[in-house]
Chain A
Amino acid sequence: MTPTMTTAARLAGLPAGLDLAAADGEALHPEAAAESPLSIRGLTVSYGEKPAVFSVDATFPDGALSAIIGPNGAGKSTLLKAALGIIPRLSGEVSVFGRPIDAARARIAYVPQRASVDWDFPTSVLDVVSMGLYRRLGLLRRMRSEERAHALACLERVGMTDFADRQIGQLSGGQQQRVFLARALAQGADLYLLDEPFAGVDAATERAIIEVLKSLRAEGRAVVCVHHDLSTVESYFDHVFLINVRRIAEGPVASTFTAGNLQATYGGRLAAGHIEQLRLGGGTA
């Protein structure tokens, strides 16, 4: 949050992660260094004997929209869930803004796949959004009026204010996805991790979601999406991470989202014609 400090540290010729301010015991957090919002080292996940994600390194940039891309079963969602500790990992380290993930959970917002929950659950839209306030409210404190107003403001950002009192099962798929995004907004995080946010939503919802994600980027937050629609990668994202069990490539969209890298990621599953339709420049990376 205070990039100047890092600059100071760099000027002083100190190694990364070792700040003078922190050494002085000032109230500045070490994670304020310009560390990557999400850095993954040697992550391996296995269902049974076959690895789903194998020894993956990834570094996502701050203040940018990043996409995790790969074919079905390539381990996109698995990578995200294992990084968050939702599913167990065999090995690997994950740091968030330079700190171990468990020390940085307050700075992370997570949007699971819509199909991962039971929408028949007896709860209202506003109730789901206020689940994003849990870390602030704790076990027993009642929601104050300003916290309620904050939850309503988050619903407003996704255009769902009118549905605040609806039971969540009475929403369309796109509306449910927006409610999940509103809950993540209520978390007030610096890093947003979204699992297939555009899957099975209507066009209006897709536009609404990408507008919100772009406004988060404008506020300097980092956004990482598991994404499956290759045709929107260039218009939505700044950074891509290509995965097929192993890391294939990562970097800025312009230089990394190339026909060659896609061929390497999808293998025979993506016909040359599809890649042609994307009108990508450049050959192999």
Chain B
Amino acid sequence: MELKPLHIVNTQLIDGDTPRPGSLLAVDGRIAALDPTDIPDGTETVDARGQWLAPGIIDLGVFATDKPAFHFGGITRAALMPDSGPLDGAGLVERAAKGGKPDLWVHPLAAATKGLEGRELAEIGLMKQAGARAVATGRARIADSGVMRRVLSYAASLGLVTIIHAEDEGLTAGAVATDGEMATRLGLASAPAIAEAMAIARDLALVEETGAPVHFRQVTTARGLDLIRAAKAKGLPVLCGITPAHLLLSDTAIGDFRTFARLSPPLRSEDDRHACLAAIKDGTIDILSSGHDPRGPEDKRLPFAEAQPGMAGAETLLALGLGLVRDGHISPGRLFELLAATPACLLGVDAGKLAPGKEADLILVDDGTPWQVDAKKMAAWAGNTPFDGMPVQGRATMMWKGGVRIR
């Protein structure tokens, strides 16, 4: 079937800092023009009734290909972490890349080392040929500095960014929470928050040495963010990200041993949470992602320390991001830089922006409708959200991938 041109009218375009009235024309799966004057024959017209038109969300670093959740959340592209598998060979990467077809882009991230064991380089070059868009160290960092240095320079030579998990494994061994009153009261093994800054410091030194571009997937502490800020000021090729959980929750959320709030890295102190909010405001944080990691009761209905870390975040990502806008931390335009433009840039995909020539991965966003997060009624295959019961506002109402309506 031939793809009809698509004209979305009566919309608020998110192509600058604030939404502006306008319309968008997509032809052959790509954005042809904003506010077009010539409309080709046979164009399908969609009346957005004043809703926001934004680039589809590119969720960087998910742990499962969970299409219903991504579609609910307005996510058109998901960069899949290499942990399940692990994705350390070209065949596995190729299969993972096809996992979302036809209505979701899955961009696999190549395991940095064989079996993600942190010892031997994986076949990063072959995985790139098979469709891997970046390299990732997985849920843990690479402990051996020599291996890490080789990974960084090798990935850089292939033009790939290395996505890093930053926690010092010596300090965090056995820990399930951050040092503090909460962990002490609950009797949970905990690690100091500086475990993050120490890991970041080492890797920044390696970046300075090798010139390799890196992305710290989650930076969640004041000291970690200070290091990133300083590195950026020096001009190092460094990006960093965060999930809404560390912006909106502190370690008090683990009270009553709520395993849905067991995350990796663990929730931090209230001071660190405020530092994260400041960093998203001042531009230190580049990417907002869901960290989507659905976990069933077999992983979560357990004593806290035995439960697996992770949260199902894909469905709440957009609404919680809109909450940051409503609270005055960021502008709408900046939200979609965090959610789409910067991840697209990192992955090297031609999307993530409302600009002529980009792929027509689009979402309509109703930024006002209130709804309540309900762990029992999630589209994700498990409802492990730490935001259960939270009232939020805004959701994606329509989605297009390459100009084709998928929701």
A in complex with B? no
B→A interface (CB under 8 Å): none
A→B interface (CB under 8 Å): none
